[in-house]
Structure 1
């Protein structure tokens, strides 16, 4: 029975993705188990009934997944001595998670002039669930204008029409995600670099943790747009590049990382140049993922 339950999950999510979903208590995983034809089996083995409430037993499912890798063994412990975390050897773990203040929040990130200091508003994922649900519920797009040749009415009916949306991109993304889920093959974003002096449509004076929350909220919804063969490029510089890389490993999985392209903007003599190279040295470079 356990083998059937695990095989069903692996076939649906893939083994690599499944482990991340378990650790994150992902809603998609929980719904799949509770609505599956073998729901009673999942409830019996991977949930606890506490005060008439089903509680997900993350540890049990992780241990079963680890044991499956040793199907012909009489022990769930590998023939290795060493430290472990959540039942897995630390040295073999590929799950690196970046923690930072307000990670469990949603940051609206309203567009403002860089010269304007503002208090950014955070919504806690649990304490402010109703506010977040309202904020991220689909909104109606309005006041369309046609740029270039063609008829606006016809363009709105054409599925190949390109749209330039002016407004808060987090709200716009959540308003469009149902229509374009798993249909986008390429996403390119150029977020604020968090330098304090770049000129962007956002207030670029985020502190470190606020910037990471800002990026996490947008990367997570962008992931829902990508097709199975899709790719995402994120432009950044050395101020946050290292942290962004670990954050993207968490959202998109480390094994899906392809490359880092760096763009040299000037040389030591001060001459302005611009060309893309592949490398690891980010000094005087802007990186693109």
Structure 2
């Protein structure tokens, strides 16, 4: 077999992108084989060996056995590969087909890495289990991707409102949603219902530092991590409105917590986002102060995180601001300016006694910010005569007259000048700067959750929550009531909770179990009017509702069972159930495997787990919506009805 593999490498090495660095580009070759592409067939027919093994003569016609050839190419003795011909490293290349041209700088570059154009199968695994990447590094050829990402069926629909928990009997299409399940497949399903409808996407992604506390596997190789993120961002872009924005939060430091020294993914992520969203749609990079002081030693003490902002179409995005400031007035003078003399028109307001006379030479204070050069007579709270004043004015004479004509100018009780904001100024908010020092910190977020769940000790209900103020300001800067906010790493539910309080529609997606124990429970408390976080800021009094649903599992339930096993006997029990009811890969020979089951039992436990995951058909992890009528999946009539309603409300 090995000689035949070497022969194939030798045969294909001069063909475009079929052999990379001496290794077969398996998925590319398989793609050509399944399509019976002449490029591949012509080359194979040149070899008597391959003609003998993979072609049969039928009535003087050679027929290509593409299934046998695919099994041969997929043989496990081949080393890992990539669907596209990228070197086994990460780097910048020119945006053309010359993949050998890795460069350090250019006016037009893209980021290249192994598996870049693949879809990685499998689900996120828990950080504390430290799963190997085998549960990620199964790649798909393009002809399998469409089926994998086809819209999925949902089950366990439940509505939560102020009256408690209810079975869902009808979906109107405007519900707030919390979805439990693989986020790649969930957002792919949303393309059928929410394409071009999401105004804001906020993502607090796994940072890939190996120590940020996510319950996802947080120590991928950079290439796997980049593919994991890119798959999702490509779909996320399609969900955004034309003026929609995506905010992506990531660590920027070289974390060495718990002895792990991570490589920051920020530079890679930034370049990848340039490619996915296009560089022209880059809005900015925010620096958020997450803590007062670092909790561990490092060469540089990291207290900041970065939030990258990209738009669907930058030309449609207005200036980003957060709501009205509490101060509705502005000063006329400025202590840093030089003293000047200006005329003040009669008729302006006075905030002191209704009837009085302010004598000339009166100053506001010892700094002499305002001096009246004439007596000023007040009747019924208004100045009755024109007069001159001397001050360190920041406002021009023409502007003073305009403010007076608009009835915005007044004299305070301390005899200084101020003005009310114009309507335009009052309606505009505080422009966001790229340094966020007062948007809450990690400790605030932890305190909010402890208070919410009545936790008296120092334990953390969630390792790295984000404060409600941070999400409040992000949501406020670019959305209005009833706009849709999406977070498909919903975690502790901060995005959904704040969006609910701010009367935005929202969709939160999470596949970890804490979606029920934390996020859902948190939202129930929000509906009941909890007063933590930003509740008082937005005058939150409770109310509203959301619908919870789960991706309908099929083969995924066996993966969950496999990962939860701790003994070989448990693995065999899972196999016994799998062989009767699971969808197995068409390349897998069940009879041969059972004949050699005793040998299988001698393998290490982790190898047994790995193998059983591999033989499952990954296109059947979840039930496709298009197949809910198939009796094999045993979908209830109630779920059929609700799924049809969900996908019909476009």
TM-score normalised to the size of structure 2?
0.27
Q: Which residue of 2 aligns with 1:208?
A: 222
| Counterpart contact for 1:173–1:222, Cα < 8 Å | yes
Q: Distance in 2 between matches of 1:209 and 1:129?
A: 19
Q: Distance in 1 between matches of 2:172 and 2:214?
A: 31
Q: Distance in 2 between matches of 1:253 and 1:195?
A: 26
| Counterpart contact for 1:109–1:214, Cα < 8 Å | no
Q: Distance in 1 between matches of 2:273 and 2:146?
A: 24
Match runs of 1:34-53 below 5 Å: none
**Residue deviations 1:61-91 (CA, integer Å, cap 9, x gap):** xxxxxxxxxxxxxxxxxxxxxxx986xxx9x
- Structure 1 counterpart SS, 2:159: coil
Q: Distance in 1 between matches of 2:286 and 2:231?
A: 24
Q: Distance in 1 between matches of 2:193 and 2:201?
A: 16
Q: Distance in 2 between matches of 1:121 and 1:243?
A: 20
**Residue deviations 1:158-205 (CA, integer Å, cap 9, x gap):** 322111111100000111112111111111111100011222232111
| Counterpart contact for 1:104–1:124, Cα < 8 Å | no
Q: Distance in 2 between matches of 1:85 and 1:175?
A: 31
Alignment of 1:287 with 2:301, yes or no, is: no
Identify the range of structure 1 (113-122 vs 95-104) with the bigger mean alpha-carbon deviation: 113-122
Report the CA distance shift for 1:235/1:97 in structure 2 as closer, same or farther (over 3 A).
Answer: same
**Residue deviations 1:10-47 (CA, integer Å, cap 9, x gap):** xxxxxxxxxxxxxxxxxxxxxxxxxxxxxxxxxxxxxx
Report the CA distance shift for 1:94/1:146 in structure 2 as closer, same or farther (over 3 A).
Answer: farther
- Structure 2 counterpart SS, 1:193: coil
| Counterpart contact for 2:274–2:282, Cα < 8 Å | yes
Report the CA distance shift for 1:182/1:240 in structure 2 as closer, same or farther (over 3 A).
Answer: same
Q: Which has the larger radius of gyration?
A: 2
| Counterpart contact for 1:108–1:170, Cα < 8 Å | no
Q: Which residue of 2 aligns with 1:162?
A: 176
Alignment of 1:120 with 2:152, yes or no, is: no
Report the CA distance shift for 1:103/1:140 in structure 2 as closer, same or farther (over 3 A).
Answer: same
Q: Distance in 1 between matches of 2:267 and 2:207?
A: 12
Residue among 106, 119, 133 paired with 1:106: 119
Q: CA deviation at 1:137?
A: 1.1
Residue among 149, 158, 176 paired with 2:162: 149
Alignment of 1:244 with 2:269, yes or no, is: yes
In the alignment, structure 1 segments of 5+ residues that lack a partner are: 1-49, 52-83, 272-280
Q: CA deviation at 1:283?
A: 4.4
Alignment of 1:224 with 2:238, yes or no, is: yes
Q: Please tell me the root mean square deviation across aligned C-alpha atoms, in Å.
A: 3.0
Q: CA deviation at 1:254?
A: 0.5
Q: Distance in 2 between matches of 1:220 and 1:112?
A: 22
| Counterpart contact for 1:182–1:228, Cα < 8 Å | yes
Structure 1 segments, 4+ long, off by >6 Å, are none
Q: Which residue of 2 aligns with 1:139?
A: 152
Match runs of 1:60-139 below 5 Å: 94-108=107-121, 110-116=123-129, 117-118=131-132, 119-124=134-139, 128-139=141-152
Report the CA distance shift for 1:114/1:124 in structure 2 as closer, same or farther (over 3 A).
Answer: closer
| Counterpart contact for 1:198–1:204, Cα < 8 Å | yes
TM-score normalised to the size of structure 1?
0.59
| Counterpart contact for 1:98–1:247, Cα < 8 Å | yes
| Counterpart contact for 2:95–2:108, Cα < 8 Å | no
- Structure 2 counterpart SS, 1:145: strand
Residue among 201, 220, 233 paired with 2:247: 233
Q: CA deviation at 1:110?
A: 1.0
Report the CA distance shift for 1:198/1:108 in structure 2 as closer, same or farther (over 3 A).
Answer: farther
| Counterpart contact for 2:110–2:271, Cα < 8 Å | yes
Q: Which residue of 2 aligns with 1:175?
A: 189
Q: CA deviation at 1:251?
A: 0.3
Q: Which residue of 2 aligns with 1:188?
A: 202
In the alignment, structure 2 segments of 5+ residues that lack a partner are: 1-36, 39-93, 97-102, 253-263, 309-650
- Structure 1 counterpart SS, 2:228: helix
- Structure 1 counterpart SS, 2:199: strand
Report the CA distance shift for 1:245/1:253 in structure 2 as closer, same or farther (over 3 A).
Answer: same
Report the CA distance shift for 1:236/1:85 in structure 2 as closer, same or farther (over 3 A).
Answer: closer
Q: Distance in 2 between matches of 1:136 and 1:282?
A: 41
Give the count of matched residue pairs.
192
Q: CA deviation at 1:145?
A: 1.8
Residue among 281, 287, 308 paired with 1:262: 287
| Counterpart contact for 1:105–1:122, Cα < 8 Å | no
